[in-house]
């Protein structure tokens, strides 16, 4: 199978994540995209993130009914820091694996644990991000494939701030995720 991995804190998962996954399915011919909320993201040490059960449930809601999209809890179920190499080693070795990254994250891939092994195991699919020079990404990762997609300037941080300040955010997430955030009172404290 051709498997895409789209990981992140998903605090919350939003339409830019889903758009990147959809473009990856179509452009790379993926059978599945595994949306993986990070368990204990080592690069966000010291940053407060919402409990994993909320982030996983929002991910499940967001991908529900979308052919080929799967909410995958494996990084939340693993103890200790979340490293991509451990996730890759947990997959079927016969699967062809693609990691879907924003261009900003792709620039930092060489800081990842065992990054060369990650690059040997997986093809990197790069989603454009505002303010990130794709030329630099291409120089750093010459084998990466750039997704042809709309550049959506949004982040979980921005959505959390909107919620906390009582601003509208309904159309930045799916209807189900919007409902879940409101019903569970997420992000209401700054």
pLDDT digits (tens, 9 = 90+) for 71-109: 999 999 998 888 999 999 999 999 999 999 999 999 999
- Compute CA distances 105 → 5, 68, 102, 123, 128, whole Å: 14, 24, 5, 14, 10
Q: What is the pLDDT of residues 37-56, one digit of tens each?
A: 998 765 556 678 999 999 99
**Whole-model pTM?**
0.94
Per CATH, the homologous superfamily of domain 2-153 is HUPs (3.40.50.620)
Q: What is the mean pLDDT of the chain?
A: 94
Alpha carbon 140 to its chain centroid, in Å, reads: 20
């Amino acid at each position: 199978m051709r498997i895409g991995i789209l990981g992140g804190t998903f605090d919350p998962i939003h339409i830019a994540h889903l758009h990147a996954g959809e473009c990856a399915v179509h452009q790379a011919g993926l059978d599945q995209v595994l949306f993986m909320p990070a368990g204990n993201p080592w690069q966000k040490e010291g940053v407060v993130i919402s409990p994993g059960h909320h982030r996983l449930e929002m991910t499940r809601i967001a991908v529900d009914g979308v052919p080929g999209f799967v909410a995958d809890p494996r990084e939340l179920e693993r103890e200790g820091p979340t490293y991509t190499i451990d996730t890759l080693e947990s997959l079927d070795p016969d699967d062809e694996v693609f990691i879907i990254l924003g261009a900003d994250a792709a620039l930092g891939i060489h800081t990842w644990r065992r990054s060369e092994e990650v690059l040997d195991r997986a093809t990197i699919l790069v989603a454009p991000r505002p303010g990130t020079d794709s030329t630099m990404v291409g120089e750093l990762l010459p084998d990466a494939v750039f997704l042809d997609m709309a550049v959506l300037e949004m982040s979980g941080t921005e959505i959390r701030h909107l919620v906390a300040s009582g601003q509208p955010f309904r159309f930045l997430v799916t209807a189900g995720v919007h409902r879940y955030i409101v019903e569970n009172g997420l992000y209401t404290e700054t």
